[in-house]
Amino acid sequence: MATGSLKKMGSIDAQLRLIAPAKVSEDDKLVEYDALLLDRFLDILQDLHGEEVREFVQECYEVAADYDGNRNTAKLEELGNMLTSLDPGDSIVVTKSFSNMLSLANLAEEVQIAYRRRIKKLKKGDFADEASATTESDIEETLKRLLQLNKTPEEVFDALKNQTVDLVLTAHPTQSVRRSLLQKFGRIRDCLTQLYAKDITPDDKQELDEALQREIQAAFRTDEIRRTPPTPQDEMRAGMSYFHETIWKGVPKFLRRVDTALKNIGINERVPYNAPLIQFSSWMGGDRDGNPRVTPEVTRDVCLLARMMAANLYFSQIEDLMFEMSMWRCNEELRVRAEVQRCAKRDAKHYIEFWKQIPSNEPYRAILGDVRDKLYNTRERARQLLSSGVSDIPEDSVFTSIDQFLEPLELCYRSLCDCGDRPIADGSLLDFLRQVSTFGLALVKLDIRQESDRHTDVLDAITQHLGIGSYKEWSEEKRQEWLLSELSGKRPLFGPDLPKTEEIADVLDTFKVISELPHDSFGAYIISMATAPSDVLAVELLQRECGIIHPLRVVPLFEKLADLENAPASVARLFSIEWYRNRINGKQEVMIGYSDSGKDAGRLSAAWQLYKTQEELVKVAKEYGVKLTMFHGRGGTVGRGGGPTHLAILSQPPDTIHGQLRVTVQGEVIEQSFGEEHLCFRTLQRFTAATLEHGMHPPVSPKPEWRVLMDEMAVIATEEYRSVVFKEPRFVEYFRLATPELEYGRMNIGSRPSKRKPSGGIESLRAIPWIFAWTQTRFHLPVWLGFGSAFKRVIQKDAKNLNMLKEMYNQWPFFRVTIDLVEMVFAKGDPGIAALYDRLLVSEELQPFGEQLRVNYQETRRLLLQVAGHKDILEGDPYLRQRLQLRDPYITTLNVCQAYTLKQIRDPSFHVKVRPHLSKDYMESSKPAAELVKLNPKSEYAPGLEDTVILTMKGIAAGMQNTG
């Protein structure tokens, strides 16, 4: 082997050290972790595909690192020429390599963050990446901080046991990594962590290193691309897998930590097992808004599947509990019951343990044996109903309500306490009781979401059928009057003879499914695009008509800017209806949407409007004596309302949370929040601590003059945003050319179409692909557009406003979070890359338009730094800066590859000179690189191009750590 290539091979470590020369702190092992994973990966690449491919990958890396160092755009062209010279097989191998290297860099970061956390050198308040915000809210520190603010331990305990955080898992199509890969990544993370453990022996080290290489190779050899879109049932199963892996055991473990934290502030009581600190809900299989694939049958399947899983999880733990409960002392109540149940039992050969009759000196086991039988039957009944729709297991031999399930467990708990065995009662039995209280028999409560127009269509069909006119054409007053008179009456509105279109049948069948399934399977019925009280009353009437005995609570969702502005008035009109006030029993939930409001008006105006709407809604609710729960529909990315949980909660307006928080956990954020045991623990801790702190120590209210300035800036920002996105005639064409938006649908990420209507412009595009496309090109337009002109105009108007903006940044959490998140997006952005897409893909007459947007980008960035008082982007967070620097060369390579591949796909006259095939063939008989091309035989493009583009999309999404 020539010395030249030897020098090259060692160079990737050297490159990494050049990019991030100094350690950020003593405990900084990131470059070390990164170098280890990369070395292993490149060795595997060389073994599989030969030395030339490895050298080529390293050369690309060096050219990209060179560009990232000095922003010399000639380097992008050099890189583009290198990448387009590859034949289809090599192109896929190289793209896959960079995508894999990026994933490994992400894993190195996660291990580094966990390591720093372990050694407790965590600085408070340093602002990190969205996924790993170190603005940590440790539950114990939060409790102690509240005591320093003159709260008594009893007040803190009281607030804590009465608060509820409901985390709603949604299948938003933003998890672009396949589950097969997520599992391998988890194992790579474990190996890397153990390799650096203190007490590791040489043999352990060797075996761990082998395991690490095996997992890296397995991940590289797995097809990253989903070849078919997932069904809603697939999404549900993927979501449920987190319960199995981490959440199920994570909840009791977290609640124990809360007990410990309480003990340390002098409370010698545990959190009651039925205190609803954490609850889980789901939209998977219930969210039918714009997703025709979520049918009534899907909803039924998903509920039964969750019930079967819940019974199975309890069943898998009950025998362990029986083993532990070997005590013979018990109270009289339990002894009598145990004797009756013991005598009624026959041998059960289908159990592994305790299959014979239980002896009389083990009363707890007799009681738990009966629980086990019922759980077995509960699981089997759900399984039979799921597979064939009927079950031969009678209902009286299964658990049908949570009280039935809790009763024998509570009896055991009471009896142990009565006999002086409380320490035993507070062991596994308490954990089990807490699981039952958290997950119930349904595992998660399913929300149903539907568009308001679909309900209007159903009612229109009914009124036309009854011959009383067209509901659609009635005024709001007339609609309300008719709905209320029907709700107050008793007569059925329609029979089986109602003429139904497919859409109408779908809505009514969904209500029918809700009426047939156990009511504890369901949470809320959410109406998207809700604007008027009649939207809510319509759902109330349809629930009654379809025989739903325990109606779901109806939750209006306000998303567009105008809807948010009108929400308080709309809710006030609803509360002024006496029938409705009696129905809700003093409680109402309202959902506010972050992503569509951002797409509609830009980030600044949307954030401010959401803030004001919440304040107004709380006022309205107080006026009518209603307790309001805000349901926050926020995405993972900043453009869709994402960002570090702790800061997001603490920047909400005072009085809007009050110990009741409901929030969506979407798409890729589910993996970042619950993918590992320690992540699950941190997520539960973060939500609980921040909710408690917000309630007991609310953030400051903005000063009147801050509000005036914000109002003024919001108007300017909306005007600027809409003038570009909606009013500029060239914009849609520019957006379609300059981003991979048209190709997004090929990624098969979610079960939902990317548009609400097949034709149509930006309005009909869903918020996720809209953000996704701009994230891919590193331009992030929806996040920053509008900020620059707002800052510029108010500062030009009065120079004193700059000082006021700085004061707002330093004193008002809401404003600071808004600015910091945009600053973080600028740290990930690169107008040079966006310019490359323009140069290659955008027609000549549109080029000046793109140029103008980039000038706007640079000016916004400059003004933002001025307001934040920072000289440089992220100067307050060296850790995130270092991580982004290490990630950049991979993302740059993938960006260049994407831009040039899109050029080849879209421009038939673009010719490239292909170099000889690089990848050596591992087995002489086959050609692995060529085989990669065959994975997608149906592509309408030239061989390999479609896969290359999809791989770049996935890689960039992983590198930006957000898809949509």
Q: Which residues are catalytic?
A: 172, 599
The Cα angle at residue 837 between residues 832 and 839, in degrees rounded to 5: 90
Write the single-letter amino acid at 70. Answer: N
HSE-up of 784 (CA within 13 Å, CB side)?
32
Cβ–Cβ contacts within 10 Å for residue 742, how many? 15
* 449 DSSP β-pair partners: 287, 526
CB distance 130 to 668 below 8 Å: no
C-alpha span between 179 and 551 (Å, rounded): 36
The string of DSSP codes covering 194-212 is HHT-TT--HHHHHHHHHHH
Question: Where are the extended beta strands (E) located within 107-216?
Answer: 164-170
Determine contact, residues 532/476, Cβ cutoff 8 Å: yes
What is the token pair recorded at 783? 């996040």
Distance CA 659, CA 672 (A): 24
Closest residue by Cα to residue 348 from 381, 382, 312, 374: 374
Are the CB atoms for 531 and 479 separated by under 8 Å? no
CB atoms within 10 A of CB 228: 7
CB atoms within 10 A of CB 941: 17
- Between CA 942 and CA 905 the distance in angstroms is 8
Are 304 and 522 in contact by the 8 Å Cβ rule? The answer is no
Eight-state DSSP code of residue 247: I
Q: How many Å separate Cα 421 from the centre of its chain?
A: 42
Q: Count CB-CB contacts under 10 A for residue 158.
A: 13
Sign of CA dihedral 738, 743, 747, 749: positive
Q: Are strands 164-170 and 553-558 parallel, antiparallel or unpaired?
A: unpaired
Q: What is the residue-wise DSSP string for 375-391?
A: HHHHHHHHHHHHHHS--
Q: Note the maximum CA span of the chain.
A: 91
